[in-house]
Structure 1
Amino acid sequence: MAAVFPAWVMVTVLLLEAVVVKGGFPTSLQLERRVPLASHELELSRLRERDRVRHGRLLQSSGGVVDFPVQGTYDPFLVGLYYTKIQIGSPPKDFYVQIDTGSDVLWIGCNSCNGCPQSSGLQIQLNLYDPGSSTTSSPVPCSDQRCSAGIQSSDSGCSGQSNQCSYTFQYGDGSGTSGYYVSDLLHFNTILEGSMTTNSTASIMFGCSMLQTGDLTKSDRAVDGIFGFGQQSLSVISQLSSQGITPRVFSHCLKGNNGGGGILVLGEILEPNIVYTPLVPSQPHYNLDLRSISVGGQVLSIDPSVFSTSTNQGTIVDSGTTLAYLADEAYNAFVSAITNTVSQSVRPVLSKGNQCYLITSSVTDIFPQVSLNFAGGASMILYAQDYLVQQNSIGGAAVWCIGFQKIQGQGITILGDLVLKDKIFVYDLANQRIGWTNYDYLLERMESNFGYTNLYVKNFEKDVTEETLLEKFSVFGTITSLVISKDYNGVSKGFGFVNFEKHEDAFKAKEAMRGAQLGSKVLYVARAQKKGERQLLLQLKYQGSNLYVKHINDGVDEEKLKEYFKQCGTVTSVRIMRTEKGISRGFGFVCFSMRQEALRAIQILNGVLFHGKPLYVAMAQTREERKRLFQSAFRHPFTNVEGLQGPFNPTITPPYPYAAAAAAAYHNRLLFPMYIPG
């Protein structure tokens, strides 16, 4: 459960047991999730019920509780939450806490707590915090400025007799917690440079829960407490920032695949593709100014007042919400636009009040792209999996339902995990803005599946010996072989290989030694790859993201072509094929960072006039792929297609002049034209 950020990260990271994130920097909190986000085994009614309970808590401080339409009587705790492990006290002790961007305060259950669960269905060890057993713990008195800040937010109070700063959080679903504030040490690692870290501590104020009621007493998905990441002064991110330890920035990336989980980073991610929109000022949560919604490039006709940012209205970003929610008018227009777009390709059906579709091919190829358009010009691009939830199948057809739900009469839009997943989200509190960019976990998942043990080490001095490397790397585990590459004179080439007995040891060594100083140089350490692995990873990286483009005007160069195509996403490379004299041959290739962006370019730009010529845009194919397609097509040239005689339906114009290949493409549900040279 990890991510490899495609950019340098400057962070301070909260760690317990020096948590190392597999495949990424050792600078992030590992997030666990009880169940996958969009499992077809979880009906939408269950997810709605869980969110209804959640929103009772989330919106309490905004002046009211939203009552969502609920169907059925399903257990809301069958769905997931994100949690992580932190370390508090002297000596330090482990606590599991839920990550919550919808609240501000960190609180954990304390000894003598009434109603605190003793066990958890998450299969984690619950602990109670004991102020008396920590030598650095102290109660927060009424005179403390932090207590005054809590009182101003109406969540805190002060007892004149005990001189203790206390709190009570009463949630809209009937549950609650109360206790008093204490101050103690939070343990974390600070990144210096490269992958080098130093152990650090900071004194923070947090809640010591003495009473829990309602659903907080249940053991089904119990954790030790809640880690609030709101923007008020009592949040840990604000406290660390006020001490000069971290900037007022944090980020998360939630995995959308069946493994769930993700990462959370304290600090700034310098990623050039992140787009930002301002936070709405003077709001208790992360409220954004949503201006419009587009489906398939067409702006929906929705009264702008629906997205008003006035009191008790607006758009809230919340990692604790499972689905996503729209106000009445926006929801109806959204669902109608989706259904009208796909009604010729799928069968729309209603399932328990939800708009669903029976699908026999890929949703990515059929369903339109959605754009949420925010103030400042930032757009959040949603693909099919970002607004659909897969349910059970019927007669061999998959059932996909609209994951956005309706909020009646509230004027509120809530963006939950359905939308937030597979994106890097940056909460820049210092500049009062939120940013995002898409992130693809595919390559990371494939890299981790190889389970490597061999490391490639380079950039060391020529006088470094095998004995020196053995001394540096053997602290991480048993080494089976170590070799430095040398020339024919026996002089070191400055690189070599270290092979461990176990993958876990190789991973720890890679993370710790990458960027470490050895003599006057900084080491580069990476997993050593066999040729076949490198080829497979490169193939996976660019599979479905490379486009073939023809009918390019002779006056168009690579820069103009890139500028035109980047409206569909991040263009990583552009190449126009030329003669030996440098004259354009009228075709070339455009590669995107993600498959979804490439599909969007096909959908939007294929057939569009560009400098006087209609572009032909299709997925690029390797020679082997073209060969397989032709062999398959001509081996059975008269295969029926969908019950029709002949190689293709005479009323259908094939995308290229090869009838048999067209039949094969149609039969295999290739809804986009594929590059076949003609």
Structure 2
Amino acid sequence: MCKESSRIQQNDGFTRSSNTIMSSASAAGAGAAAAPGTLQVVHRSAGKHESASDHVALLHRDQFRVETIHRQHLADSGSATTAESETRLGLPFSSLEYVATIGIGTPERDLTVVLDTGSDLTWVQCQPCSSCYSQNEPMFQPRESITYEEIECADQECFMMSVGTTTCVGTSCIYSVDYGDDSFTSGYLARESITLSPNSTSSDTLTGVLFGCGALWNGGFGASRVAGILGLGQGASSVNLTANPSFYSVELTGIAVAGRSLPIAPSAFDAGTIVDSGTVVTRLPPDAYAALRAEFRRQMCGRYPVAPPIGRVLDTCYDVTGHDEVVVPSVALLFGGGARLDVDASGILLVADVSQACLAFAPNADPGSLSTIGNMQQRAHTMVFDVDGGRVDFGANGCM
């Protein structure tokens, strides 16, 4: 029998947790508490209309993103406003990321955007648009907003892009940001008002936010049909408006499976670890992943038939056909200072199909690359990115 197990249930093609694993700890650093504010966040979960091949494409884009993060981290190594977010499940969007509805402009227009702690610039598609993807909501009309103000080349904000580039077309400042899957957005850099959790009693309006009014898009992101991205990194072009490196770093020191710490040398995590809402599955150093995979397979006890891997990313998969309840060994991420994140059952297996449920962790190709804690492992936890305090906090009652 497997010990200290978590359980997940299959229900209409969506992964659900049948129990809640509670945890509350600070993952890194020390400092003052964040200022109050709320934003409702949606997990874009894969629906039953999606096939295993759809997950291959999603994870392929995810892998490109991780590789881009590794390159950006190397570049950062060479060289304040806070808000919280309230979570909800968003089934209309077929992806494995989180989204939020924000108000843009005055009067505000409610638009749904991907929540991304790994990028800085907030942008949405705008009319007129020379090349845009189809989205669920009407595009933003900047001419209808009295707070929209295009940034000119003479303005210092034109040179504040922490990630991406700017060029001049006439007097207009044009931004361009490339993403890890070879997609990109380009358009007018502007100042605009952004309201977090619009139409609620806890809404917060940020004024004069550096904002991208997208007029050109190319790449795979458009399959999500959201309006754009809310950039929550720490760079100068983020809504946090700091001059820190974009990523949120924590001190990952070990991993426990079924309550037992794995035999992983502390030096395996020397390259550092970040928490990223835009990465789907957690990436680990090769040695750490090998230890996790070996113990996870052992704990599964031959209970389910082995299934083929999903692409080149997820290699530990099982066929759970005919099982209303699937038992998996518990997994916990261990941090410096004694902090511990008990991964919810919904973040342990990625269920592409009942015939293909895979361990939602993957190895980095390079032992010297950053580890990345993905959004699947953040599920069911409240995540607080305290920029001023230099902390990442997590606790119970998060999004499923």
TM-score by length of 2: 0.72
Distance 1:323 1:189 in 2: 27
1:476-487 → structure 2 map (5 Å cutoff) = none
User: Which residue pairs with 1:35 in the alignment?
Assistant: 46
User: Which residue pairs with 2:281 in the alignment?
Assistant: 323
Contact 2:344 2:380 in 1 (8 A): no
User: Which residue pairs with 1:408 in the alignment?
Assistant: 365
Q: 1:358 to 1:85 in 2, by over 3 A?
A: closer
Distance 2:112 2:198 in 1: 21
1:21-170 → structure 2 map (5 Å cutoff) = 28-31=39-42, 33=44, 35=46, 42=52, 45-55=56-66, 58-63=69-74, 79-117=95-133, 119-120=134-135, 124-130=136-142, 132-150=143-161, 153=162, 155-157=164-166, 159=168, 162-170=170-178
Q: Displacement, 1:199?
A: 8.3
User: Which residue pairs with 1:204 in the alignment?
Assistant: 209
Distance 1:282 1:88 in 2: 25
Distance 1:441 1:215 in 2: 25
State the Cα deviation string for residues 1-34 of structure 1 (Å, max 9, x = none): xxxxxx9x97334xxxxxxxxxxxxxx3252625
Distance 1:303 1:59 in 2: 22
Q: Displacement, 1:292?
A: 1.4
Q: 1:11 to 1:42 in 2, by over 3 A?
A: farther
Q: Displacement, 1:435?
A: 1.1
TM-score by length of 1: 0.45
Q: Displacement, 1:134?
A: 2.9
Distance 2:203 2:377 in 1: 36
1:256-275 → structure 2 map (5 Å cutoff) = none
Query: Helix, strand or coil for the counterpart of 2:180?
Result: coil
The RMSD of aligned alpha carbons is 3.7
Determine which of 226, 231, 254 is the counterpart of 2:229.
226
User: Which residue pairs with 1:376 in the alignment?
Assistant: 337
Q: Displacement, 1:166?
A: 3.0
Q: 1:325 to 1:199 in 2, by over 3 A?
A: closer
Distance 1:200 1:154 in 2: 24
State the Cα deviation string for residues 595-627 of structure 1 (Å, max 9, x = none): xxxxxxxxxxxxxxxxxxxxxxxxxxxxxxxxx
Distance 2:365 2:155 in 1: 43
1:513-552 → structure 2 map (5 Å cutoff) = none
Contact 2:286 2:364 in 1 (8 A): yes
Query: Helix, strand or coil for the counterpart of 1:172?
Result: coil
Q: Percent identity?
A: 28
In the alignment, residue 285 of structure 2 is paired with which amino acid?
A
User: Which residue pairs with 1:172 in the alignment?
Assistant: 180
Unaligned runs of 5+ in 2: 1-23, 25-33, 76-92
Distance 1:388 1:212 in 2: 33
Q: Displacement, 1:377?
A: 1.8
Q: Displacement, 1:425?
A: 0.8
Structure with larger RCO (C-alpha < 8 A, sep 6+): 2
User: Which residue pairs with 1:308 in the alignment?
Assistant: 270
Contact 1:204 1:236 in 2 (8 A): yes
Distance 2:333 2:203 in 1: 41
State the Cα deviation string for residues 506-548 of structure 1 (Å, max 9, x = none): xxxxxxxxxxxxxxxxxxxxxxxxxxxxxxxxxxxxxxxxxxx
Aligned length: 343
Distance 1:324 1:45 in 2: 16
1:381-530 → structure 2 map (5 Å cutoff) = 381-390=342-351, 392-393=353-354, 400-410=357-367, 411-439=369-397
User: Which residue pairs with 1:349 in the alignment?
Assistant: 306
Contact 2:151 2:189 in 1 (8 A): yes
Contact 1:188 1:199 in 2 (8 A): yes
Q: Displacement, 1:429?
A: 0.8
Distance 2:374 2:192 in 1: 32
Distance 1:221 1:323 in 2: 18
Contact 1:156 1:165 in 2 (8 A): no
Residue 286 (str. 1) matches residue 251 (str. 2)? no
Q: 1:198 to 1:42 in 2, by over 3 A?
A: closer
1:543-582 → structure 2 map (5 Å cutoff) = none
Distance 1:385 1:415 in 2: 15
If you compute each CA radius of gyration, which structure gives the higher value, 1 or 2?
1
Contact 1:140 1:147 in 2 (8 A): yes
User: Which residue pairs with 1:213 in the alignment?
Assistant: 218
Contact 2:254 2:333 in 1 (8 A): yes
Q: Displacement, 1:291?
A: 1.1
Query: Helix, strand or coil for the counterpart of 1:234?
Result: coil
Query: Helix, strand or coil for the counterpart of 1:114?
Result: coil
Contact 1:85 1:96 in 2 (8 A): yes
Distance 1:34 1:299 in 2: 31
User: Which residue pairs with 2:85 in the alignment?
Assistant: none
User: Which residue pairs with 2:192 in the alignment?
Assistant: 184
In the alignment, residue 12 of structure 1 is paired with which amino acid?
G
In the alignment, residue 112 of structure 2 is paired with which amino acid?
Y
Distance 1:82 1:198 in 2: 19
Query: Helix, strand or coil for the counterpart of 1:236?
Result: coil
Distance 1:190 1:129 in 2: 18
Contact 2:163 2:177 in 1 (8 A): no
Q: Displacement, 1:236?
A: 1.6
Q: 1:401 to 1:156 in 2, by over 3 A?
A: closer
Distance 1:176 1:106 in 2: 13
Distance 1:50 1:164 in 2: 32
Contact 2:285 2:363 in 1 (8 A): yes
Distance 1:197 1:154 in 2: 30
Distance 2:286 2:270 in 1: 13
Distance 1:199 1:229 in 2: 15
In the alignment, residue 407 of structure 1 is paired with which amino acid?
N
Q: 1:11 to 1:144 in 2, by over 3 A?
A: same
Q: Displacement, 1:350?
A: 4.7
Query: Helix, strand or coil for the counterpart of 1:12?
Result: coil
Contact 2:254 2:264 in 1 (8 A): yes
Q: Displacement, 1:317?
A: 1.6
State the Cα deviation string for residues 17-55 of structure 1 (Å, max 9, x = none): xxxxxxxxxxx325262535x999546635422422443
Distance 1:369 1:378 in 2: 16
Distance 1:198 1:128 in 2: 20
